[in-house]
Amino acid sequence: MRVVLLGPPGVGKGTQGHRLADEHGWALISTGEILRAAVAQGTPLGLEARKRMDRGLLVPDDVMIGLVWERTLAPDAASGFVLDGFPRTVVQADALDSMLQGRGFHLDRVVAMSVAEEELVRRLSSRRECPVCKRVYNMKSLAPMDGSRCDDHPEAGLVQRADDTESTIRRRFQVYWDETAPLFDYYRNQGRLCEVPGAGPMDEVYRALTVALGC
C-alpha cells in the first residue's frame, strides 16, 4: 500500500507512520528525517537545506521531488511506503502522482490528521529525539524511563531539533497553512482524503488510522 500522512508539524505523522510501516513491512519515508541526516553528514544537500530548515521554511520543490523519486525506488519501498512530510505543496502532490503513474502505481490513501494548534505548539516544544535511533520522546507525555536519556541508547542524551524552538515553530505553522493546507482540498476534491483525529491516546489514534486505511 502507498500512503501519504498529511497534517501539521507535531500531529504525530512520524510516530504513527513508524508503527504503521513497521507492522506492515512498508518503508517509512520521512523527508524531514532524510534532510536532517544530510545536514548531520554535511553533504551539499544538507548544507543548502539547513539554511531553510533552521528558519522554518520549505526546501525547494525540485530538490524534494528528486529526493522522493530516488527514495521510493529503493527495494524496501517496493511492497509499499508511508510518506511523512511529503507532499507539502500542490507542485509536489502533482509530481508524486505523475511519478507513481509513470511506474504503473497510484497512491492508495491520503490520511489527514489534525490537532488544535496550541496543543501542537506544546507538543513540539517538549519534543526530544535520540540522536542514534531517532526515536521521538515527549518530555511531558512520553518521557524516557530515566527522564533524559534514550531507553535503548542511554549513552546518548536526547536532543531538541533545531527547528523546534517557539519562534521557528510559529513560522512552520504559517508555512503549513500557506503551502500545505491547500492539499486537504486538493485530495478532498479528488475523493482521496480520509480524516483522522490526531488528539487522544496514541493507540486510539493508531486504531483510527488503520480503520481509515482498511488494514
Nearest approach in angstroms of CB 114 to ligand AMP is 16
Nearest approach in angstroms of CB 136 to ligand AMP is 10
* 45 contributes a contact to ligand AMP by CB under 6 A: no
Number of residues in contact with ligand AMP under rule CB under 6 A: 17
Half-sphere exposure of 175 (CA within 13 A, CB side): 18
Phi and psi angles of residue 109, each rounded to the nearest 5 degrees, phi first: -150, 150
Give the strand order in the sheet containing 193-197.
Answer: 27-30, 81-84, 2-6, 109-114, 193-197
**150-179: which residues touch ligand AMP (CB under 6 A)?**
163, 172
Q: Which is nearer to ligand AMP, 4 or 208 (CB)?
A: 4
Among 86, 137, 186, 187, binds ligand AMP (CB under 6 A): 86
Residue facing ligand AMP at closest CB distance: 32
- Is residue 103 part of the annotated active site? The answer reads no
Contact between 134 and 158 (Cβ < 8 Å): no
The grid coordinates of residue 116 equal: 488544535
The grid coordinates of residue 8 equal: 501539521
What kind and span of H or E run contains 95? helix 90-102
* 196 contributes a contact to ligand AMP by CB under 6 A: no
- Is residue 172 part of the annotated active site? The answer reads yes
Residues engaged in binding ligand AMP (CB under 6 A): 9, 31-32, 35, 52-53, 56-59, 64, 85-86, 88, 92, 163, 172
